[in-house]
Structure 1
Amino acid sequence: MGLDGTHGRQAAQAQRTSAVPPQRHLPFDLAAWAAEPRPETPPGIFRLGYRPQDETRTEQATVPPGPLLTRAALNLVVGWLVFIYGRALCLNLIAYAVDKFEIGSRIDLGQGRFQYVVPAGQRDLVALAVNVLMILLVVRYFGRMGRWTEVFRRYAAPLLARTVTQEASEGGIDAVGRTHSADPWFEVRAGAPEAVRRLEGEQLGDVDYARIRHAWDTVLADPDLLPAFAEQVEARGAAACAHPSGARDLPGRTGRHDLLTRQVRLGTAQNVVKNPLAHRSAGFALDPQLLGTSLLAVGPAGTGKTARLGRPVAEALCLQALAGTACAVVIGAADADLGPDTWYDVVIAPGDPRSPYGLDLYGAAADPDEAAARLADALLPDELAQRAETARTALQQVVGPYHAAHGRYPGVRELRALLGGDPDAWAVLRKALQAAGVLAVHEAELQHRERQHGRADDPGALLADRLALLDRPVFAGCFPGVPGGPAGGLPPFAMRALDHPLRVRVKLPERSHPEVARVLSRLVVAQFVQAASARTERSLFAGLVVDDASAAVDVHTVRGLQRMRGTNAGAVLLLRTLADLSEPLRAPLFGAVGCRMAFPGIAPWDGRLFSEAWGTHLVTETAVTHTPDTSGGLVRKAARGVRKALSGTTAQTESVTTRDVERHRWSPSDLAHALPSGHAVVSLTTVDGEQVPPLLVDLRG
């Protein structure tokens, strides 16, 4: 739960994350932020401050103000005239009926004539009933045609609300644009009142609140932790239950986050017909429920994949890690804008002498065969993928015996020597196996591997050549073995740490050593997929962000993405084009991820896969046909002839045909050429299987 976290300096003052733009110069208003409405919404909608839209109102709001007011005024005038003349007509008809059927009091007019009238009191009641009936009829028919309710909602209701109550018509927001205060510690107050009193005397940010609330949820699950929680909060206040790094916020954070719902807002769904009604004009956001199915984003360089998707998601995962609800692994080039190093606990930068951490090539895997298989897949180039099985076997025949003899995995140089058939290295390995008493167990593997040495098709020689990329002075100490191995080198990071709320940044040397970057990208992604599925503690969401996943995706990664849906883990993979992947991988990758995102300028062949994945839907298609008018007799034909002579046009008839047809939700041509800059089309799927059709989203701002 993190109740024993170390003290740390208070982070920079938190910014308000709400439905209104953040006020950087104001202190964080915790009570107002916690009281913001967060209604249940369909997936992908930013819940903070969201208010559901009424379908009828939305359709009516499409009418421009000018025609709306003009139509309302005309119907009001006509309705008033109908009321005046209709009322008089009704009263005359009633008077005629009274006299005709001799109803009411009789008045003698003399000379044998009589008139029947209704008494004064009854006459007033009849007039009132006629007035009410006429008003109801006028409002019912002319009010509907003139859309008086829409005029009232648009113009009169806000004016009355401001005049009478000094509040917005939607409610919940006061004159300065903030929600009414509420007690953010209502649930904690009953169980730990002293702790709440300490918290009320300090300035908390959204990360502090989310972190302490997460700790309280852990206390509710295990009441025995209540004394430790109360003692921690009373002693440290807002810094209680802090992340092991002591950090309480991210410096320079720029995204719009809601840590209570664990959402990060990326943009706004556009108000277009293709978008579902509930999403139109609503904030677009991602959360672990969506990221748990993994997201594939495709778009050329410069379309905003990193700045508008990769960085905000990485920032959200790092904030959630500080709150104790997630762990983050972010992979990208050293110069990729994925946040400063101060956002991360572990920064691995092979080839950079300032790198504080190295990388465990085996990911601290407990099974030597599995660790060797993942390393072999990462080392092989794409063009030699057909030799993957023999390469895995060759590496397993070396790593397994070495681990049995020494109790650790071999380093890069040791592994290269054994795969290359160095006699001295093999002699040392045999001696160590004999000393450990396991030589007989691995003798068959050693003999088979030794027989392969020197052959033209020896996969060991190929792997040794690939390892030579890592066995260079610039990478000295970057790839040590597991603890207990040779002294020296940087402290290694292993993927078994995904059980803790760590923030990891892997900087790849794409400019100086592109092939090494490809190997490391594939290796780290494979280790993440393997470790995420093998975790026993799955309360933390394990998030992976890969800035350029073209080299990181292979068959095992695709299979691993499918397994991660049930392990509270997910990946965000950014690609420039699907052409960077081999043809057999493209369709399986589309099927493995639940969320797909297309950026402007993608190639038509990339758009075809998106279009096929999103399928078709029924649309109403209207066809208008014009044909020459030949109807009528001699007079009409003569008139049409004169018209043609005078205007030069032929009279035509118009035929309109309406039918329902299937069309692609987004065609490859639309995705390739019609998407505006700064936008994207994204489809979503939650880990529960709920789906959202493709949305056009504005990612700017």
Structure 2
Amino acid sequence: MSLDGHTAIPPMPSVPPRVPGGAAIPPQPGAPGAGAGFDLVGWVSAKRHRTPPGVFGLGPEPRSADEKTLADDAIPGWKLLLRAALNAVVAWELFLYAQPAITWLFQLLFPGEIAAVQRNDSTAIMIANILWVLTALLLIWIFGRMGRWRAVGRRYLLPLLRGLLAAQRRHAAQKAQKEKEAGGEPQGIVDPWAPLRAVAEVGGLAVLDAETAQGLVGDVDHQRLLRALECVRHEPARLRALLDAVREYGAVACAHPSGARELVGRGPANDLLLRQLRLGGAENVPKNPAGYRGADIALDPLLLGTSLLAVGPAGSGKTTRLTRPVAEALCLQALTGTAVVVVVGAADADLGPAAWYDVVVAPGAAQSGDPQAGYGLDLFGGAQHTDEAAARLADALLPDELALRTEAARLALQQIVGPFEAGYGRLPGVRELVLLLRGEEGAWAALLAAVRESGTLDRHQHELAQRERLHGLADDPGALLADRLALLDRPVFARCFNASAGDPESLPLFALRALDHPLRVRIALPDHSHPEAARILGRLAVGQFLHAAGSRADRSLFAGLVVDDASSAVDTHAIRGLQRLRSANGGAVLGLRTLVDVPEALRAPLFGAVGGRMAFPGLAPWDGKLFEDAWGTVWVDERDVTRALDTSGGVLRRSFRGVRALLEGERAQTESVTTRKVERRRWSASDLAQVLPRGHAVVSLTSVDGSQVPPLLVRLP
């Protein structure tokens, strides 16, 4: 192994530079594809909106809701419908049986009008009809307000109308498809292959059009081909290769290196056209800004680019409602050639089936016969130089309580890894590192002889002498590192890491430097069987990813990191790496059970390093305090209302108030209102700890360009 790109990565078909998935990979037997019956034309032509930020483009547009609307939504359905029906009956009866009184009123206001109508005067008839319509509208306005007919329409009729409109759009799309097949010119339908058609020859998309008409082309295929076109548009030779592949293979052209065209068991919450993941629906509550109430909240790479921190106890829904959907969305984007994703979590965490991933690193699972665990982890895979590799490994080996000895541990490991690589031409294995850090005479003498034979003794003599002087001393960091590294030198982890001389050949080692390929990587940690080793591997994987993502030269792919439980991975170096991801086209989703798992000195910097924050039900009050401070305050209009029953007036006025109370369901009251502006917390720690309902979360987001989504109470699916 070396740090110059020779570390083993999964075997893949040859990929031309800068073309996602290669150009012209023929169909592979058994490769999963899009399910039959997908309406690609309708999906592309569907109406989408792009404002405000953080709103799902395929969902309903946000609607403004005032306090009265919120009060109407709180009324039980049976009571709302009963009052609406009662007022409708009274209005109809009044319109029918009050005609003599209304006719008398018309005759009093317009003398001679009734006689003109009886003479069949057309002008008089038209005026009379207008007056009757105005009377009907007046009754509808009066009794509609008392019966809350607008609330009934908003709650029951609008959803029905939206369903009818959606069915009409589907029917129009099917009709347009039939017209297209018959040679007609459909109106209002978007050609999904217009960018390709503009550069292809006549008949060059015949296979692709036929597959689209048969419903064999999915949204992943569509986005993958358009992504490939975007990459080669200005290179004639590569563009010609792409068009030839599309003409010959259709939707299978430029397939992902794995051959996959779809994820097994994917959910309906992804819109690849906007690269959005539907997170949930914003509730109609006063704490949510009016512009977001009722809208679907979504995540996209621009919002994930500032990273997201989610805090909630076990069982609150972090894995099933956040980390797994985000992993699914990033895996889909990897299939389209726009992202690379690394998912870190316990082996038993529900982060998607193994079929979702190209690489599954599961230390210890290979020894138990798991066929999916076909790769090991390169302990030095995140750096380009030996000193960087040793520093990343030292940071991962030391627990949080020994952070003060980090610099000495880094130096001790660098004094071994550099000379070893110079002497043997490869990086040391786990057992070799343990022996050298402990100062075993045989291993140390062999290292000195190898360095001397390589002719680099003069360059490394000083650091070797320094390391040798510390052997056996009480403050030798090498002994501590050796004890920590010995946790990985276990029979259950055989062949899972860098092999030492004489050890069996290791599994293909995955290096986290490979972030310039659209890979889907799952790192399954042995949390239950070897918890301390899992903590080391989690810190190592996160540290290597953050270093590799921030230092890569090609940043065309979005580099996504999903950590189901980041309690052991958060340290000073991880926080600095999170801050660099924003400008490196990358982002991370970190889950925590409680902020107590993070050292107290790192909690505020962690909140400052991420742009998205998410609080789940069951949050502890001391955790909610940090969310409260991060979300700050807002100026609100505070209304002090004093109400009293209206008992004024005589018998007639009281009788009228009684009828009105029967129709409206409320007794007449007098109100005294005082309004003033006050500063209030958006969400207090007590609200987050006690009021947050089950199945919900409060989430705030920040885009890479600085656009912010305020804290919203979201109903999670």
User: Which category of TM-score, normalised to the shorter sequence, fits these structures?
Assistant: 0.7 to 0.9
In structure 1, the residue matched to 2:402 is: 384
Question: Secondary structure of the equivalent of 1:497?
Answer: coil
CA contact (8 A) 1:360 1:481 kept: no
> Is 1:357 matched up with 2:370?
no
Aligned position for 2:484:
466
170 and 342 in structure 1: CA distance in 2 versus 1, 3 angstrom threshold? closer
> What residue is the counterpart of 1:293 in the other structure?
306
CA contact (8 A) 2:382 2:544 kept: no
2:541 maps to 1:516 = no
CA contact (8 A) 2:284 2:293 kept: yes
What letter matches 1:462 in structure 2?
A: L
Instruction: Specify the alignment match of 1:613 in structure 2.
Output: 630
- TM-score by length of structure 1 reads 0.81
CA shift, 1:515, in A, is: 0.5
Task: State the partner residue of 1:200.
Answer: 209
Distance (Å, rounded) in 1 between the aligned partners of 2:279 and 2:479: 48
Give CA deviations for 1:544-602 in whole Å, capped at 9, x if unaligned.
Answer: 11111101111100111011011111111111111111101111111111111111111
Q: Tell me the CA shift for residue 656 of structure 1.
A: 5.4
Give the counterpart letter for 2:421 in structure 1. H
Quick one: distance in 2 between partners of 1:391 and 1:317? 36
**Change over 3 Å in CA distance of 1:168–1:251 after alignment to 2:** closer
CA drift at 1:329: 0.6
- The TM-score with structure 2 as length reference comes to 0.80
Which residue pairs with 2:506 in the alignment?
489
Q: Higher relative CO (CA 8 A, sep ≥ 6), structure 1 or 2?
A: 2
**Structure 2 residue aligned with 1:173, among 163, 169, 176?**
169
In 2, Cα distance between equivalents of 1:613 and 1:12: 45
For 1:580 and 1:323, locate their aligned partners in 2 and report how far apart those are by CA, in whole Å: 37
Larger mean CA deviation between 581-590 and 283-292 belongs to 283-292
Q: Within 1, Cα distance between the matches of 2:487 and 2:576?
A: 28
Distance 1:681 1:85 in 2: 61
Q: Closer, same or farther in 2 for the Cα pair 1:156/1:539, shift >3 Å?
A: closer
Q: Given that residues 9 and 247 in structure 1 are in contact (C-alpha distance below 8 angstroms), is that contact kept between their aligned partners in structure 2?
A: no
Q: 1:38 aligns with which of 48, 57, 60?
A: 48
For the 8 Å contact 2:382–2:545, the answer to whether it is kept is no
1:7 alignment partner in structure 2? 27
Q: Deviations over 1:479-498 (max 9, x none)?
A: 1169x998711111101111
Verify: 1:28 aligned to 2:45, yes or no: no
Paired positions, count: 636
Q: In 2, distance between residues paired with 1:322 and 1:447? A: 51
* Whole-angstrom distance in 2 between the partners of 1:65 and 1:212: 52
1:549 aligns with 2:562: no
CA distance in 2, matches of 1:613, 1:61: 33
Q: CA deviation at 1:403?
A: 2.4
Equivalent residue number for residue 419 of structure 1: 437
Displacement, 1:278?
3.6
Q: Is the 8 A contact 1:409 1:481 kept in 2?
A: no
Amino acid at match of 1:553: V
* Aligned pairs for 1:495-514 within 5 A: 495-514=512-531
CA distance in 1, matches of 2:433, 2:239: 51
Q: What is the letter of the counterpart of residue 629 of structure 2?
A: E
Residues of 2 paired with 1:258 and 1:422: CA distance? 58
Question: Which digits, 9 at most, give the CA deviation of each residue in 1:108-135, with x for residues without a partner?
Answer: xxxxxxxxxx9xxxx9879978986997
Percent of aligned pairs with the same amino acid: 56
Provide structure 1 residue ranges, at least 5 long, that are not aligned to the other structure: 16-25, 95-117, 628-652
Question: Which string of whole-angstrom CA distances, capped at 9 and with x for unpartnered residues, describes residues 370-406 of structure 1?
Answer: 1111111110112111111111111112222222333
- Cα deviation, 1:480-527, whole Å, max 9, x if unaligned, reads 169x99871111110111100011111111111110000000000000
Q: In the alignment, which of 463, 477, 482 is matched to residue 445 of structure 1?
A: 463
**Structure 1 counterpart SS, 2:588:** strand
User: Is 1:321 equivalent to 2:329 in the alignment?
Assistant: no
**Could you tell me whether the CA contact under 8 Å between 1:403 and 1:410 is conserved in 2?**
yes
- Report 1:138-149 matches (<5 A): 143=141, 146=144
CA contact (8 A) 1:32 1:179 kept: no
2:212 corresponds to 1:215: no
8 A Cα contact 1:6 1:245, kept in partner: no
Instruction: Quote how far apart the aligned CAs of 1:142 are.
Output: 7.6
Structure of larger gyration radius: 1
Please tell me the residue identity of whatever aligns with 1:232. Answer: A
Q: Report the AA paired with residue 193 of structure 2.
A: W
Partners of 1:408 and 1:481 within 8 A in 2: no
Write out aligned runs for 1:512-591 (5 A). 512-591=529-608
- The one-letter amino acid paired with 1:36 is A
Question: Bigger CA drift: 433-442 or 364-373?
Answer: 433-442
Residue 177 of structure 1, CA deviation: 10
User: Does the C-alpha gap of structure 1 residues 158 and 524 become closer, same or farther in structure 2, counting only changes over 3 Å?
Assistant: closer
C-alpha distance in 1 between matches for 2:415 and 2:306: 36
Cα RMSD of the aligned pairs, angstroms, is 3.8
Provide the C-alpha distance between the structure 1 equivalents of 2:671 and 2:92, rounded to a whole number of angstroms. Answer: 35
**C-alpha contact (below 8 Å) 1:358/1:479 kept by paired residues:** yes
Does the CA-based 8 Å contact 2:72-2:151 persist in structure 1?
A: no
Cα deviation for residue 424 of structure 1 reads 2.6
CA distance in 1, matches of 2:428, 2:696: 48
**1:186 matches 2:194:** yes
List aligned pairs for 1:549-698, cutoff 5 A. Answer: 549-623=566-640, 657-698=674-715
- Please give the alpha-carbon distance, in whole angstroms, between the structure 2 residues aligned to 1:321 and 1:694: 29
Structure 2 gaps of 5+ residues are: 1-18, 178-188, 645-669
Q: Distance in 2 between matches of 1:315 and 1:177?
A: 28
Q: 1:90 to 1:74 in 2, by over 3 A?
A: same
Superposed CA deviations along residues 246-303 of structure 1, whole A, max 9, x for unmatched, are 1111122235211111122232222222223343232232211111111111111111
Partner residue of 1:274 out of 287, 293, 297 = 287
- For residues 67 and 625 of structure 1, do their structure 2 counterparts lie closer, same or farther at Cα, with a shift above 3 Å needed? closer
Report the secondary structure of 2:348's partner residue: coil
Alpha-carbon distance, 1:149 to partner: 9.9
1:77 positional shift: 8.9
Distance 2:461 2:711 in 1: 58
Q: Distance in 1 between matches of 2:487 and 2:249?
A: 49
* CA 1:137–1:625: 2 relative to 1, 3 Å: closer
Structure 2 CA distance, aligned partners of 1:535 and 1:390?
28
- Aligned positions of 1:5-154 closer than 5 A: 5=25, 7-9=27-29, 12=32, 14=34, 27-53=37-63, 62=73, 64-65=80-81, 67=83, 88=107, 91=110, 143=141, 146=144, 150=150
**Corresponding residue for residue 667 of structure 2:** none
In 1: Cα distance, 2:458 partner to 2:326 partner: 52
